[in-house]
Structure formats: C-alpha cells, structure tokens
C-alpha cells in the first residue's frame, strides 16, 4: 500500500503544479508521488463519501485509486490537467465498488448521452448558489441515483468545470448540463419545501 509521510512535501515541491510533480514521478522521482497523495487524499475521501453508500469502504477505495494512479502515471499527459485524470480513475473505482456491493445489477447506461442537448455555458456557480446548494446537497444527496449524485458532487462540492467533469465522465459537455438540471429536479422532489432554491 502507498502511504504518505508527515511533512513529505519539500519546500521546492510546494510551488510545483500537480502536472509538474506528476512529470517528476514519470521521470523516476517516485518519492514525489507522496506530494500528489497529500494534495488529493482529502478531496478524494470527500468525493468518495458523497458518491458511495455506507456499504463501501471509502478509505480502501481511495487507497486503490492511488495505487491505480501510481501504476498508470506513465500514461498521464503532463500537458493536460492532472485533476480530471485522477478523478476519472476515482470515478471508475467508485462505480466498480457500487456494482460490487449492489444486490441488484446497477445499470450505467447513460440515456442522457443518447439525445441531443443544447450547449451549456461553462460558468462557475455564484458564491451564494454554491453555499445554498451545499446545504441542500448534504440533506438530499443520499436519495439521488449514482450518476446524478456524482455530477452534483463534482460540480458543487469539488467545484470542477463542465469541461473537467465531461473529461472525467467521458460524456459531452451538454450531458453535464442536462444531468445537473435533472439532479436538481430530483433534489426538488426530495426537498419540496426548498424547491424555490433550485430555480
């Protein structure tokens, strides 16, 4: 298992981007992988806790994400952003955990990608909307289907852009927009007394 050490980030490493650190790891400086683990451990644990149910061991799943990331680091393109790449690995790991622990087969056929959608503006939500959505998400997230739960987490909690989410889920940007819209509609139904906040 991969483990981080206390204060393993050296001062000169702190100033490096994720992509630069990944490039160092690719070139043989394997100890620098601990820097990436430190940067992403809390984020991936938060993502996993929101995406997975109590049946799955989130800590073990995140450790597996880091192992897969380390094993596949050579395939990472340092000209691209690192965060969507590692979130894509996490997405696959968490989907597999859900399938493994589900009594009923979980279908991940994405009907949202089968119909044409308008292009959505890739604009970040306003701060006020972010805060309101976080409160509502905490209350209603568990009742969402996995594909809608995940997209809400990635957009409102992890604050990733439409483009980054599309890269992670490997869906068109329009699908990201339509899933967010439908996820909000699910939350409205679950929390009718707060429905106006989703407008």
Specify the DSSP element, H or E, that contains 182.
helix 173-190
Tell me what percent of the residues of the chain surpass a pLDDT of 70. 66
With 0-12 CB in 10 A as exposed, 13-18 as middle and 19+ as buried, what is 27?
A: exposed
Fold of 107-199: Arc Repressor Mutant, subunit A (1.10.10)
Tell me what percent of the residues of the chain surpass a pLDDT of 90. 36
Q: Give the tens place of pLDDT for each residue, 147-199.
A: 788 888 888 888 889 999 999 988 899 999 999 988 888 877 776 655 455 55
Distance from C-alpha of 127 to C-alpha of 90, rounded to nearest angstrom: 27
The single residue listed with the structure tokens 């000209």 is: 79
Distance from C-alpha of 10 to C-alpha of 177, rounded to nearest angstrom: 40
Whether 2 contacts 67, CB under 8 Å:
yes
Q: Give the tens place of pLDDT for each residue, 42-93.
A: 999 988 887 776 555 888 889 999 999 999 999 999 999 999 999 999 988 8
Fold of 9-104: Rna Polymerase Sigma Factor; Chain: A (1.10.1740)
Q: Where are the alpha helices (DSSP H) in 8-141?
A: 11-14, 18-26, 33-51, 58-71, 82-101, 127-140
Domain range list for the chain: 9-104, 107-199
Which among 94, 89, 103 has a CA at the least distance from the CA of 40?
Answer: 89
What is the pTM for the complete model shown?
0.67
**127-136 long-range contacts, CB within 8 A, separation 24+:** 130/156, 130/159, 132/197, 133/197, 136/187, 136/191, 136/194, 136/197, 136/198
Say how many C-beta atoms besides its own lie within 10 A of residue 126's C-beta: 9
Identical topology for domains 9-104 and 107-199: no
């Amino acid at each position: 298992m991969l483990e981080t050490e206390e204060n393993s980030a050296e001062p000169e490493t702190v100033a490096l981007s994720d992509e630069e650190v990944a490039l160092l790891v690719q070139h043989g400086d394997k100890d620098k992988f601990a820097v990436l683990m430190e940067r992403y451990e809390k984020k991936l644990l938060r993502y996993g806790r929101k995406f997975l149910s109590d049946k799955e061991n989130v800590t073990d799943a995140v450790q597996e994400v880091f192992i897969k990331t380390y094993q596949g680091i050579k395939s990472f393109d340092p000209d691209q952003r690192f965060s969507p790449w590692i979130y894509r690995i996490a997405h696959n790991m968490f989907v597999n955990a859900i399938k493994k622990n589900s009594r009923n087969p979980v279908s991940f056929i994405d009907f949202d990608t089968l119909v044409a959608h308008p292009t959505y503006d890739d604009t970040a939500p306003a701060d006020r909307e972010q805060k309101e959505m976080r409160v509502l998400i905490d209350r209603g997230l568990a009742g969402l289907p996995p594909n809608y739960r995940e997209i809400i987490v990635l957009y409102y909690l992890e604050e990733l852009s439409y483009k980054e989410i599309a890269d992670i889920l490997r869906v068109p940007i329009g699908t990201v927009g339509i899933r967010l819209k439908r996820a909000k509609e699910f939350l409205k139904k679950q929390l009718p007394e707060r429905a106006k906040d989703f407008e």
